[in-house]
């Protein structure tokens, strides 16, 4: 009986059928004592040897856990049910699972976690970008947008990060991938002329006028604006507390993440709209259902009304979330820095806001696209400095409370 290979040992060969070099390193054993291998491939022998050498340095004789042989599908379910269940909303869990079933499992679902390579993930990203959409969609075509692929990458990265913590892998294979940049054309943003038409169109309906004006001036998520109560409105400090969300079908729950729970300083025009609306309020909800004031308006009804407004006004058929993009893009163009914008939008990191909207603003400032103009600046321009001052004061106060140093 041949000697079993120890962790770190490997072999190298030329694959005629695939026309590339292939390397294999034993990285551990499963619960039955059978070897667990890590595969490498490249166009040249040198390339594979270098990959294997780098991996050996990372290995350093540390065996992987038996769980490394789990299929990605099984590991992801464990991750969702045991790790994420208390960190995010049930709706978010459902969205993660749906994203995996649609885009990740068809490529990697049956692969062992320890054998998922950077090359394999990159091929998945490339394929999704080219033909990942199940149905042809006008404007986007057959492939998924760069934004969607980036979202898939972020999800898979987190899944693999937890696998790394559980010693199922030695390094996160998503780290070496190249993800598509966000194309400014993917952000469906109402330009200056369209925004004026939109705000004019919402004036005819008192119920929806205030709803959509608040949305376009704060960029709240659909579930967040539907879930607002009058108790969230600080009429003295002119602030809005965001701390819950409503699902598209009306279920009330927590905000999307801990970062989503935030306090927003309201522009004066928005503050005045809410003050006027509050005088005739008959429900605890800021925007209750017309036929049942005890319940908040649902995201589905908000989306239906948006489509009615867009169609009757001759505006592009944008998504509700594109109103959030419109606010963010206008806000940065008006001079709000990424850190402040991140706080207003409820993003976990300012870098996300900068990555998402910074390049769009740069183009606008160069005059390459006259999509923003001065309309938003006329509405909140005088309050930009105040917005940013509020955020800085809040940041300094939190640091003082936590005993942090600048």
Residue 309 lies in a domain: yes
Residues 14 and 71 both lie in one domain: no
Residue 396 lies in a domain: yes
| Domain final residue pick, 160, 181, 202 | 181
Residues 151 and 197 both lie in one domain: no
Residues 284 and 393 both lie in one domain: yes
Residue 361 confidence (pLDDT): 44
Residue 6 confidence (pLDDT): 42
Residue 2 lies in a domain: no
Residue 5 lies in a domain: no
Burial of 257 (0-12, 13-18, 19+ CB in 10 A): middle
Residues 172 and 199 both lie in one domain: no
Residue 4 lies in a domain: no
Question: How many Cβ atoms sit within 10 Å of the Cβ of residue 206?
Answer: 11
Residue 180 confidence (pLDDT): 80
| Domain final residue pick, 132, 151, 181 | 181
**Where residue 335 sits, what CATH number does that domain have?**
1.10.443.10
Residue 294 confidence (pLDDT): 94
Name, in order, each residue with C-beta under 8 angstroms of 136's C-beta and a sequence gap of 6 or more: 142
Residues 176 and 256 both lie in one domain: no
Q: What is the DSSP string of 348-369?
A: S-HHHHHHHHHHHHHHHHHTS-
Query: How many domains does the chain fold into?
Result: 3
Residues 203 and 287 both lie in one domain: yes
Count of alpha carbons within 13 angstroms of residue 32, beta-carbon side: 4
Domain carrying residue 258: 192-400
Residue 89 lies in a domain: yes
3-state helix, strand, coil in the chain (%, to 5): 55, 15, 30
Residue 67 confidence (pLDDT): 85
Residue 254 lies in a domain: yes
Residue 401 confidence (pLDDT): 41
Q: How far apart are CA 261 and CA 339, in angstroms?
A: 16
Residue 339 confidence (pLDDT): 76
Residues 108 and 208 both lie in one domain: no
Q: What is the pLDDT along the chain (406 residues), one digit of tens a residue?
A: 444 444 445 678 888 888 888 888 776 655 566 667 778 888 888 888 888 877 776 666 566 788 888 999 999 999 999 999 888 878 889 889 999 999 999 999 999 998 899 889 999 999 999 887 664 444 445 788 888 898 899 999 999 999 999 989 888 999 888 888 766 556 688 888 898 999 999 998 877 999 999 999 899 999 999 999 999 999 999 999 999 988 777 778 776 666 678 888 888 888 999 999 999 999 999 999 999 999 999 999 999 999 999 999 999 998 898 999 888 887 777 777 777 778 888 876 655 555 555 554 444 433 322 333 344 554 454 555 555 555 555 555 544 444 333 3
| Domain final residue pick, 181, 204, 239 | 181
Residue 304 lies in a domain: yes
- 276 contacts 267 by C-beta, under 8 angstroms: no
Q: 288-289 and 10-15 as β-strands: parallel, antiparallel, unpaired?
A: unpaired
């Amino acid at each position: 009986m041949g000697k079993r290979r120890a962790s770190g040992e490997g072999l190298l060969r030329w694959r005629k059928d695939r026309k590339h070099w292939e390397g294999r390193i034993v990285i551990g054993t499963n619960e039955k004592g059978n070897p667990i291998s890590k595969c490498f491939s490249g166009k040249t022998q040198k390339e594979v040897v270098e990959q294997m050498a780098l991996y050996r340095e990372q290995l350093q004789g540390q065996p992987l856990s038996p769980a490394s042989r789990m299929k990605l599908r099984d590991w992801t379910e464990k991750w969702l049910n045991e790790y994420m269940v208390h960190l995010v909303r049930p709706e978010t869990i459902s969205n993660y699972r749906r994203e995996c079933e649609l885009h990740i499992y068809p490529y990697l679902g049956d692969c062992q976690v320890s054998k998922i390579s950077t090359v394999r993930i990159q091929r998945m990203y490339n394929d999704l970008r080219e033909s990942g959409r199940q149905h042809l969609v006008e404007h986007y075509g057959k492939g998924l947008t760069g934004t969607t692929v980036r979202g898939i990458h972020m999800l898979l990265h987190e899944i693999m990060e937890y696998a790394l913590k559980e010693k199922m892998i030695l390094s996160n294979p998503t780290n070496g991938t190249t993800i598509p940049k966000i194309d400014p054309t993917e952000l469906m943003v109402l330009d200056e002329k369209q925004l004026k038409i939109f705000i004019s169109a919402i004036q005819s309906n008192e119920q929806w006028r205030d709803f959509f004006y608040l949305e376009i001036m704060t960029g709240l998520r659909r579930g967040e604006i539907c879930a607002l109560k009058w108790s969230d409105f600080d009429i003295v400090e002119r602030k809005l507390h965001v701390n819950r969300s409503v699902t598209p079908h009306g279920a009330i729950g927590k905000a999307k993440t801990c970062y989503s729970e935030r306090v927003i300083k309201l522009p004066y025009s928005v503050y005045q709209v809410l003050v006027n609306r509050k005088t005739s309020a008959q429900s605890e909800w800021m925007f209750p259902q017309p036929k049942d004031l005890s319940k908040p308006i649902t995201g589905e009804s908000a989306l239906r009304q948006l489509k009615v407004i867009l169609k009757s006004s001759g505006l592009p058929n944008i998504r509700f979330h594109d109103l959030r993009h419109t606010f963010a893009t206008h806000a940065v163009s008006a001079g709000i820095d990424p850190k402040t914008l991140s706080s207003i939008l409820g993003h976990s990191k300012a870098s996300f806001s900068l990555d998402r909207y910074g390049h769009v603003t740069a183009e606008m400032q160069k005059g390459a696209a006259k999509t923003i103009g001065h309309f938003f600046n006329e509405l909140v321009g005088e309050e930009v400095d105040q917005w940013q001052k509020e955020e800085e004061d809040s940041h300094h106060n939190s640091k003082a409370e936590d005993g942090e140093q600048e």
